[in-house]
Structure 1
Amino acid sequence: MTEPAPFLSSFQTVEADWIDYNEHMNMGYYTVLFDRAADEAYAEIGFGPEYRAASGCTTYTAEFHVRYLRELKLGDRVQGAFRILDHDEKRFHSFQELIREDGTVVATGEGIALHVDQSGPKVAPMPETILARLREVAKAHAALPRPEAAGRGIGLRRRG
């Protein structure tokens, strides 16, 4: 992971099966793109299939909020930007952007992930090797301006 910039995933292409009757990408597939990009970032931190196989532990998503900012169409290519906003020994708070090849941010995603011992399954502390890497990444990402959209709530705004 190159710090302090957010982690940038490889480019992904919008697939034909993801296009709905409005001729743009269905909302569910934004989450697929976020998940694929996060998998690449997680591997840099030390999570992934090898970690799960060796430790019996993995990550589960506890909460994920998506903001849809622009349409994606068939064949559009996007890259995921991923950063750590906060963490403790069992959880981490991340913020992601999907960025179209032309540089336009088309969606943001904010999530809380849990470190899970699958023998329970139960939320469990991360091993020191993973936690040290997470601290290193979080410290580097803390040097970046906090995303304006981070921590937003949802609700109807009334004019008063």
Structure 2
Amino acid sequence: MEREATYRGTVYPWQCDHVGHMNIMWYVGKFDEANRNLFARLGLTPSYLRSSGRGMVAVQQNIAYKRELLAGDIVEIHSHLLEVGDKSIRFRHDMRNAETGEIAATCEITGVHMDRQLRKSAPFTDAIREAASRHLAEPAGA
């Protein structure tokens, strides 16, 4: 999954807070856009989610802020699928300053596949589970 970015964009001046760096609400927004691209690679496309009555919900999200991002910085996010279960996935996003290569923030999320009508978790289809398995990140030290 490391080959292609799941998000690429810029920091706009209106996304910066009173100390001059990108406000935390925009980190979350950019990570959310990366989620959508990651999900699509696994077969969890908008059309699949609409036609199947399914959805993805975050049940845990942990963000670590490493370096500030300033207005005009180019942002790139690469995503790594860490774990695939019957109804859930765990993944990490690495947000970098594309110019310097420095990691600005990381975000680890556990997402659950749900039936939108029943409001309950639902198993992934075999095709999605197989696609996700192909994208699992290499274990540390492998």
TM-score, length basis structure 1: 0.82
* 1:67-118 deviation digits (Å, cap 9, x = unpaired): 0000111111111110111121100111110011121110000010000110
Identify the residue that residue 151 of structure 1 maps to in structure 2: none
Which residue is equivalent to 2:124? 126
Is 1:142–2:138 an aligned residue pair? yes
Are residues 121 and 7 of structure 1, via their aligned partners in 2, closer, same or farther at CA, if it must alter by over 3 Å?
farther
In structure 2, stretches of 5+ residues that fail to align are none
Deviation at 1:21?
A: 0.8
- Once the two structures are overlaid, the 10-residue window that deviates more, 62-71 or 48-57, is 48-57
Query: What amino acid is aligned across from residue 142 of structure 1 in structure 2?
Result: E
Gaps of 5+ in 1: 147-160
Is 1:98 aligned to 2:95, yes or no?
yes
What's 2:11 paired with? Answer: 14
CA shift, 1:9, in A, is 2.2
**Residues 18-97 of structure 1: matches in 2 within 5 Å?**
18-97=15-94
Displaced runs of 4 or more, over 4 A: none
- Whether contact under 8 Å (1:68, 1:108) holds in the other structure is yes
Letter in 2 for 1:111: I
- Distance, in Å, in 2 between the alignment partners of 1:123 and 1:41 is 20
Q: 1:113 maps to what in 2? A: 111
The two structures, once aligned, show a CA RMSD in angstroms of 1.5
Percent identical among aligned pairs is 25
Distance 1:56 1:142 in 2: 32
Structure 2 residue aligned with 1:154? none
- Structure 1 residues 122 and 7: alpha-carbon distance in aligned structure 2, compared to 1, 3 A threshold: farther
Using the TM superposition, give the Cα deviation of residue 11 of structure 1 relative to its aligned residue in structure 2, in angstroms: 1.6
Q: Which moved more, 1:44-53 or 1:66-75?
A: 44-53
Tell me the distance in 1 between the aligned counterparts of 2:43 and 2:90. Answer: 16
Distance 2:101 2:47 in 1: 33
